[in-house]
Structure 1
Amino acid sequence: MSYEQYSTSAQWNVEPPLWLPHYGARFFTAVRRYWRKYATFSGRASRSEYWWSVLFTGLVGLVIDGVDEIVRLSMRNSGMGGFDDPSDLGAALAWIWAAIIFIPTISILVRRLHDINMSGWMIFIGLFPLIGAIVLLVFTLMRPNPAGRRFDNVPSNATLL
C-alpha cells in the first residue's frame, strides 16, 4: 500500500501510525493520540482528532466547574460559608487542568493547521482579538489539503503494509 493511499483513506481497521493523521478517528482513539503526541508540533492532525480532543478537554473543564459548584453549595448550605476566594479548590483544579493541557492543545492546533497546508506559525493569528479566534475556527473546520503532507516526518524505517 502506498503512502498516499494510507494517509488519505478514512476507513481503516487499524489505527495509522502516530506520524500520520487519523481521518475518521473515534473519540477514545483521538483522545489517546492527543496525549501520546503531547508536545509533537510536526506532522498533521485530522479534523476528527482535533475536535474530539477539544470536546474531551471541554468536558473535563465542565466537570471541574461542576465539582467546584457542588463544593461551594455544600459549604454554603452547611453554614460554613462559601468559597469565594480565588485560591479555592475549583480554581486550583481549573488552573492545574489548564497547565496540563496548554502544550498539547497548542501542538494539536499546529498539527491541524499543517493538515490544511498552513504553517504552524499561523496560530499567532489567534492573538488578534475576536477576528483571530474566528479565523482559527474557520481554519480548524477546513478540509484537509493533500499538499499538507509536506509537514509529515516520515520515519526512515516506516513501512506500510
Structure 2
Amino acid sequence: MNWYVAVLQNYTGFTGRARRKEFWMFALCNLIINLILRVADHLFGFFILTPEGSIGILGTIYGLAVLIPSLAVAVRRLHDGDHTGWWLFMVLLPIVGSIILLVFMLQQSSPGTNRFGPSPRLDFDEPEPPIPPFHHHQH
C-alpha cells in the first residue's frame, strides 16, 4: 500500500524515474480498487444508463481522481528505462502500441543515472542487489 500512496503523493511528478515495483504495485492497487468500486456501483445502483450500457459513478469518479497520478507514474516508468514520456502516446495505436508499452513497462531499469535522473532503487528501503564477485578458474 505504501507504493500506492507514494504515487498519489507525487501525483504531478512527471520528472524523474519510477521503478517497476512502484509502477506495478500502483497498477495492482488500482485494479483492486476499480473492481471493488464496480461491484459497489452495481450493488447500490450507482450507475448511469447510456445507449452503450452503464457507467458506474463511483468507478468514474475514482478514475478521474487517479488519472493524473497514473499518467505521471507511467511517464516516470518510461523514464526509468531511458525512454521519453512521449512513448505513452503509443497506447493510441491499436494492439501494437499497447504491446510496445507493456514491454517497456516490464523492462529492467537502466542502470545508474540516465538522462532522467538517478536510479530510483535507492529511494526505497530495498538495497541494490549485490554484484557477485568475478571468479576466474584456471584449468
Give the 3 Å change call, closer, same or farther, for CA 110–84 of structure 1 in structure 2. closer
Indicate yes or no: 2:22 matched with 1:49: yes
Structure 1 residue runs of 4 or more that deviate by more than 3 Å after TM superposition: none
Amino acid at match of 1:54: A
1:50-95 superposed Cα distances (whole Å, 9 cap, x missing partner): 00000111111000111122224xxxxxxxxxx6734xx9711111
- CA–CA distance in 2 between the matches of 1:149 and 1:29? 25
More strand by share: 2
> Aligned ranges for residues 1-161 of structure 1 at < 5 Å?
28-72=1-45, 85-86=49-50, 91-146=56-111, 149-152=114-117
1:8-39 superposed Cα distances (whole Å, 9 cap, x missing partner): xxxxxxxxxxxxxxxxxxxx221121111101
Does the 8 A contact of 1:67 with 1:90 survive in 2? Answer: no
1:3 counterpart residue number: none
- The gaps in structure 2 that reach 5 residues or longer are 119-139
- CA–CA distance in 2 between the matches of 1:39 and 1:148? 22
More helix by share: 1
- The gaps in structure 1 that reach 5 residues or longer are 1-27, 73-82, 154-161
- CA–CA distance in 2 between the matches of 1:120 and 1:84? 34
2:123 counterpart residue number: none
- CA–CA distance in 2 between the matches of 1:84 and 1:109? 30
TM-score, normalisation: structure 1: 0.65
- CA–CA distance in 2 between the matches of 1:29 and 1:92? 26
Give the 3 Å change call, closer, same or farther, for CA 44–50 of structure 1 in structure 2. same
- CA–CA distance in 1 between the matches of 2:112 and 2:78? 12
Does the 8 A contact of 1:114 with 1:148 survive in 2? Answer: no
Secondary structure of 1:85's aligned partner? strand
Secondary structure of 2:75's aligned partner? helix
Secondary structure of 1:129's aligned partner? coil
